[in-house]
């Protein structure tokens, strides 16, 4: 079974005339005071718009960044402005529109420590709390947990969709089931590997994290990323997998002379990395093999790029996985900011069953952890 809790949804409540506080995850990247990526803002809109249409007075709150106290550079004002341009409804920052956007919850003392007085302050005057911040439900903060202890609380449309889609990956999804993991750090993914490995048919590992695996197998990895403290754990995982051989590691790479966009680079076999060079992408044979596994799967989950995809010459591996996911006829889910960004960069976001707004929250769910911002909703199920 999944560690998912029971909760009510918008379908279970009549919100007409209610004052509703929505917690969304509007923690988006900013660039020069402008919203650089509005994926999370667009993902938050269906719930907000449904509430307005149903006659609720709607206020939405979120954190943005990791401020220490009030920091004008992390105001939600530009987020509210972008939201207004994305919806027919009138969105106001700290003022009464159809949708009222509150200032950054992390400007409040007691937000991250979930102080009762902060939760009371947030809940004050509202009839209903709608938890829709999937990307933040792994945080036990005043705006994610404290408020939901005080007033009647339900899940929003995005949270419900995320939990259904990612929950499926834990709970007997269709097979063959393939998980593709990348990204820089194996330490971020170790718990997910351990929890998903028994459930999957194949686990394809690329990105910076694959070098810790390869090093543990005795390969020379040059200047590639290796997390030394993880070597023993990784070796144990590979050894335990020896019979079933679900874990697939790269057989070739695109390696660079140094870590730079314009570095000299070449395709090399896994045992042929020139001394001091650094692996910056999986190679074409690996890309083909991974793509083949992905395409013929009935279920796929992908988190983490295969290489430094921001640099064009190290993008091919990530692109091979992304294209295979878009071609796969089965259920496909992509999580983590970089993988989602890669799908969007390639214009493939429309051909994925589920693009997740959660990074850490999605991983914690797949690790089998309880998500406090979801668990708290259970008390309102009667
Ligand atoms: C995220 O971007 O992963 C979420 O918004 C959570 O942000 P946090 O890691 O600062 O709590
Ligand atoms: Mg508008």
242-260 pLDDT, tens digit per residue, is 999 999 999 999 999 999 9
Instruction: Kindly tell me if the per-residue pLDDT of 2 is higher than 50.
Output: no
Catalytic residue among 152, 185, 295, 379: 185
Q: Which of 1-10, 18-27, 309-318, 371-380 has the lowest mean pLDDT?
A: 1-10
pLDDT band at 60 (very low <50, low <70, confident <90, very high): very high
Looking at residue 95, its pLDDT comes to: 85
Strands 34-35 and 30-31: antiparallel
Q: Which atom of ligand 1 is least distant from the CA of 25?
A: 5
Q: How confident is the model at residue 176 (pLDDT cuts 50, 70, 90)?
A: very high
- Rounded to whole angstroms, what are the CA distances from 134 to 60, 86, 374? 14, 20, 9
- Cβ of 135 less than 6 Å from ligand 1: yes
Q: Among residues of the chain, what percentage have pLDDT more than 90?
A: 96
The mean pLDDT of 1-29, rounded to a whole number, is: 89
- What tens digit of pLDDT does each residue of 321-333 get? 999 999 999 999 9
* Burial state string for 288-325 with b = 16 or more CB within 10 A and e = fewer than 16: ebbbebbbebbbbbbbbbbbbbebeebbbbbbbbbbbb
Q: Which of 136, 159, 363 to mutate to test the pocket of ligand 1 (most atoms within 8 A of CB)?
A: 136
Do the beta carbons of residue 273 and residue 279 sit within 8 Å? yes
Tens digits of residue pLDDT in 91-146? 999 888 999 999 999 999 999 999 999 999 999 999 999 999 999 999 999 999 99
* pTM for the whole structure: 0.94
**Separation of 288 CA from ligand 1 center, angstroms?**
33
Q: How far is the CA of 33 from the centre of ligand 2 (A)?
A: 20
Distance 88 CA to ligand 2 centre (A): 4
């Amino acid at each position: 079974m999944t560690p998912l809790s029971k909760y009510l949804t918008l379908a279970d409540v009549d919100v007409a005339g209610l004052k509703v506080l929505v917690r969304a995850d509007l923690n988006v990247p900013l660039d020069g005071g402008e919203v650089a990526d509005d994926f999370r803002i667009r993902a938050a809109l269906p719930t907000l718009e449904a509430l307005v249409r149903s006659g609720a007075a709607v206020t939405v709150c979120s954190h943005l960044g990791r401020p220490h106290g009030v920091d004008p550079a992390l105001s939600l004002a530009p987020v509210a402005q972008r939201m207004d341009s994305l919806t027919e409804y009138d969105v106001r920052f700290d003022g009464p529109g159809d949708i009222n956007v509150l200032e950054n919850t992390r400007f409040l003392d007691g937000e991250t420590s979930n102080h009762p007085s902060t939760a009371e302050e947030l809940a004050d005057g509202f009839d209903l709390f709608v938890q829709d911040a999937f990307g933040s439900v792994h945080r036990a903060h005043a705006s994610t947990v404290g408020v939901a202890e005080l007033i009647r609380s339900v899940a929003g449309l995005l949270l419900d969709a995320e939990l259904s889609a990612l929950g499926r990956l834990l709970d007997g999804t269709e097979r063959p089931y393939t998980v593709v993991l990348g990204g820089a750090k194996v330490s971020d993914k170790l718990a997910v590997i351990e929890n998903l490995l028994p459930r999957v048919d194949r686990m394809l590992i690329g990105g910076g994290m694959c070098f810790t695996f390869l090093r543990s197998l005795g390969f020379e990895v040059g200047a590639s990323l290796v997390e030394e403290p993880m070597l023993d754990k990784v070796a144990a995982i590979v050894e335990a997998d020896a019979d079933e051989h679900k874990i697939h590691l790269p057989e070739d790479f695109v390696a660079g002379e140094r870590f730079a966009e314009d570095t000299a680079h070449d395709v090399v076999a896994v045992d042929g990395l020139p001394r001091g060079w650094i692996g910056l992408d999986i190679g074409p044979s690996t890309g083909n093999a991974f793509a083949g596994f992905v395409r013929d799967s009935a279920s796929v989950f992908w988190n983490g790029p295969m290489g430094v995809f921001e640099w064009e010459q190290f993008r091919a591996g990530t692109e091979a996985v992304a294209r295979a996911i878009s071609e796969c006829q089965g259920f496909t889910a992509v999580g983590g900011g970089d993988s989602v960004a890669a799908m969007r960069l390639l214009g493939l976001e429309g051909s994925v069953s589920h693009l997740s707004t959660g990074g850490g929250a999605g991983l914690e769910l797949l690790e089998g952890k309880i998500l406090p911002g979801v668990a708290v909703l259970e008390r309102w199920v009667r």
